[in-house]
């Protein structure tokens, strides 16, 4: 590579790493794996080392990648929260040891290391005055972070008061355990919310919520791994400081291995690598730190990284195995996922016998066939994946795989909509998705069955008291009373709520059925147009597509939904249970908001957003979730945010709650 090519490559790598660092650190939504990002950084670092004349201050090799998020107060770190230099082989570790040992020998200091797990989370500092937790902050760019004190107070393992009245600042890693991450994603899938890509980004996103009540809902934990500043007590070694932190109440990193030399450090790294599958939390490497704090001072730091510590990243391990079969699993949203059944093979410390193949496009892209010899990769704690097919090992016995057109669980039709990669079962009574179907049916925006929430539905299913939506209306007071000690009042309230739901307007039932692309607004339009459930069920595609706000995709989804035998059976059972099938809402005769579009933002005193929306729609208006030039009014309550700024910039009329009341009086 000549100088010109090197310069062009360095500029390209700087742009790529800056983009992906923004996705990772600031947006908590990475597009590439940690390993792919590490390889880009390694190439950039090596090129800059070879061509130092092209080093620039804006390169991520010279600074930490994060920024302060808007909405948080800035915190200047008294002691910088630096990042670590990553290495990927033991040769680089030996070079680190030689440099460090030379300085230790020159100063007559015995060199020891402490090897710890590199926890895959979000780095924070915690500041204590007289033993009281007074402030916590993210790393940010290493010099300036975000004040997230209130969010950190929601984490149970962060002590509000230490066992000794000292002034100290410590550094730790906030994370979500493997079990906590799995449970959180399972709940999000049930609720139809997008899944988190990994535990690290889930933890980072949780900590950077502007509302600490939202943070408190997430299963966050923390391990402390360093003393940043201590005004009350002085330490001579790192391990001494960690043991002291445990003594005064901190949750310290449980994996901390003292090593007398490089060989012991390498053994510790290998042991962590072998055991990482058994850890309850995710890691993305091992950290090797100089134990003696005086030696740390002598070694010093660069602008970005300390010279007394280094991070060893475990290389992704690849193994060959046989793709024995491909089976389809139906998720709780109805998405059908192809799963590879593999000849068991040990990869990165765990035995892999199956892994997801994501979707139909992934199988085609990899050109996978049942019986193929495939390469499996598992980097650190990442889910194993099929990397490639070894086509040279095909012998003619391999066979193609085709996604099903009928659900493998319930036999209903499977569809793939334009622009989507997933194939979905549209059977409303499919056992694989029944939990989510019932949860949505009972939700406030749908049939509004008060008290029939997540845990109650889960218990009803576990006790086999219900197996589909219509079973809700067959439940008795005794069924509910058996769930709680002295549960008569609890049971009566639920039965009353179920009976009350039978009288709901038609739009609530339409919304409750969970038809793809039909939400509350769409359900109201359909109810108003068709008046009865029978009319809607018998509507043709040509009729549906002419209804306001019902495009071709939505019309197709409605038609396909009502053509399913499961849907017809369910509607008949709901009719027999006495659930209303007719449009009840009276026409107001007042269309003062006809042709107008409202956007709501902030907190209103007298109305919920749903109530305000219903009033607007009652008078012939529409509501939207985003501000544009077509917006007629922005109804702004307390703490109006970015929507207010956008409305002002576009010249949209902004009205207060009092203005709104004057308009509807």
What residues are labeled active site?
118
Q: How far apart, in whole angstroms, are the C-alpha atoms of residue 223 and residue 601?
A: 38
Q: How far apart, in whole angstroms, are the C-alpha atoms of residue 398 and residue 374?
A: 12
Name the token pair of 544: 């549906």
Q: How far apart, in whole angstroms, are the C-alpha atoms of residue 6 and residue 4?
A: 5
Q: Residue 287 in 3-state DSSP? A: strand
Name the token pair of 431: 């056992």
For residue 598, what are the CA distances in angstroms to 442, 517, 602, 629?
A: 28, 21, 13, 12
Task: Count CB atoms within 10 A of the CB of residue 507.
Answer: 21
Q: How far apart, in whole angstroms, are the C-alpha atoms of residue 427 and residue 442?
A: 18
Task: Count CB atoms within 10 A of the CB of residue 645.
Answer: 11
Confirm if 77 and 142 have CB atoms less than 8 A apart: yes
Q: How far apart, in whole angstroms, are the C-alpha atoms of residue 42 and residue 48?
A: 10
For residue 491, what are the CA distances in angstroms to 107, 303, 451, 488?
A: 76, 64, 10, 5
Please name the residues in contact with 36: beta carbons below 8 A apart, sequence gap of 6 or more.
none
Please name the residues in contact with 48: beta carbons below 8 A apart, sequence gap of 6 or more.
10, 54, 55, 59, 61
Q: How far apart, in whole angstroms, are the C-alpha atoms of residue 372 and residue 65?
A: 41
Counting every residue written for the chain, the total comes to: 665
49 phi/psi in degrees, rounded to 5: -70, -40
């Amino acid at each position: 590579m000549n100088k010109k090519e090197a310069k062009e490559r360095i500029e390209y790598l700087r742009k790529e790493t800056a983009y992906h660092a923004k996705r990772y650190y600031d947006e908590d939504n990475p597009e590439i794996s940690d390993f792919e990002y590490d390889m880009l950084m390694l190439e950039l670092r090596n090129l800059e080392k070879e061509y130092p004349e092209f080093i620039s201050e804006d390169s991520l090799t010279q600074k930490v990648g994060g920024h302060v998020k808007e909405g948080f107060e800035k915190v200047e770190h008294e002691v910088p929260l630096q990042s670590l230099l990553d290495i990927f082989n033991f040769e680089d570790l030996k070079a680190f040891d030689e440099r460090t040992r030379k300085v230790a020998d020159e100063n007559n200091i015995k060199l020891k290391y402490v090897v710890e797990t590199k926890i895959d989370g979000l780095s924070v500092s915690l500041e204590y005055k007289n033993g009281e937790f007074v402030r916590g902050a993210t790393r940010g760019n290493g010099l300036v972070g975000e004040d997230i004190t209130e969010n950190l107070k929601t984490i149970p393992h962060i002590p509000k008061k230490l066992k000794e009245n000292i002034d100290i600042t410590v550094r730790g890693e906030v994370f979500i355990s493997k079990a906590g991450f799995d449970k959180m994603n399972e709940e999000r899938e049930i609720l139809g919310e997008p899944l988190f890509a990994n535990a690290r980004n889930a933890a980072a996103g949780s900590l950077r919520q502007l509302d600490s009540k939202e943070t408190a809902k997430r299963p966050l934990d923390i391990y402390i791994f360093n003393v940043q500043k201590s005004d009350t007590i002085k330490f001579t070694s790192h391990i001494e400081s960690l043991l002291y932190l445990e003594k005064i109440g901190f949750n310290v990193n449980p994996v901390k291995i003292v090593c007398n030399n490089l060989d012991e450090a390498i053994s510790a790294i290998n042991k962590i690598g072998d055991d990482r599958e058994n850890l309850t939390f995710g890691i993305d490497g091992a950290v090797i730190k100089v134990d003696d704090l005086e030696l740390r001072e002598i070694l010093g730091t660069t602008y970005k990284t300390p010279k007394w510590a280094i991070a060893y990243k475990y290389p992704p391990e690849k193994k060959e195995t046989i793709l024995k079969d491909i089976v389809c699993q139906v998720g709780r949203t109805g998405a059908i996922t192809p799963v590879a059944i593999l000849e068991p093979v040990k990869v990165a410390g765990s035995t892999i016998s199956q892994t997801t193949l994501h979707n139909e496009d992934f199988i085609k892209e990899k050109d996978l066939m049942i019986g193929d010899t495939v390469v499996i990769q598992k980097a650190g704690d990442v889910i194993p994946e099929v990397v490639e097919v070894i086509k040279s090992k095909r012998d003619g016995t391999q066979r193609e795989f085709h996604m099903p057109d009928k659900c493998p669980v319930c036999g209903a039709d499977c569809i793939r909509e334009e622009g989507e990669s997933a194939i979905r079962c549209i059977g409303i009574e499919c056992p694989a998705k029944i939990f989510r179907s019932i949860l949505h049916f009972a939700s406030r925006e749908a049939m509004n069955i008060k008290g029939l929430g997540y845990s109650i539905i889960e218990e009803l299913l576990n006790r086999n008291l219900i197996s589909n939506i219509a079973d809700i209306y067959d439940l008795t007071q005794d069924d509910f009373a058996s769930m709680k000690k002295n549960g008569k009042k609890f049971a009566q309230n639920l039965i009353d709520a179920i009976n009350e739901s039978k009288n709901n307007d038609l739009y609530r039932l339409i919304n409750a059925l969970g038809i793809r692309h039909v939400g509350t607004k769409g359900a109201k339009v359909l109810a108003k147009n068709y008046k009865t459930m029978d009319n809607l069920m018998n509507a043709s595609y040509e009729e549906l597509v002419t209804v306001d706000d019902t495009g071709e995709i939505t019309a197709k989804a409605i038609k396909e939904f009502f053509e399913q035998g499961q849907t017809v059976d369910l509607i008949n059972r709901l009719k027999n249970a006495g659930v209303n099938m007719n449009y009840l809402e009276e026409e107001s005769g007042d269309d003062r908001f006809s042709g107008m579009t409202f956007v709501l933002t902030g907190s209103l005193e007298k109305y919920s957003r749903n109530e305000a929306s219903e009033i607007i729609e009652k008078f012939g208006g529409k509501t939207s979730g985003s501000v544009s030039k077509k917006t007629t009014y922005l109804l702004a309550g307390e703490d109006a945010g970015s929507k207010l700024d956008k409305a002002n910039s576009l010249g949209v009329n902004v009205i207060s709650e009092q203005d709104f009341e004057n308009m509807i009086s």
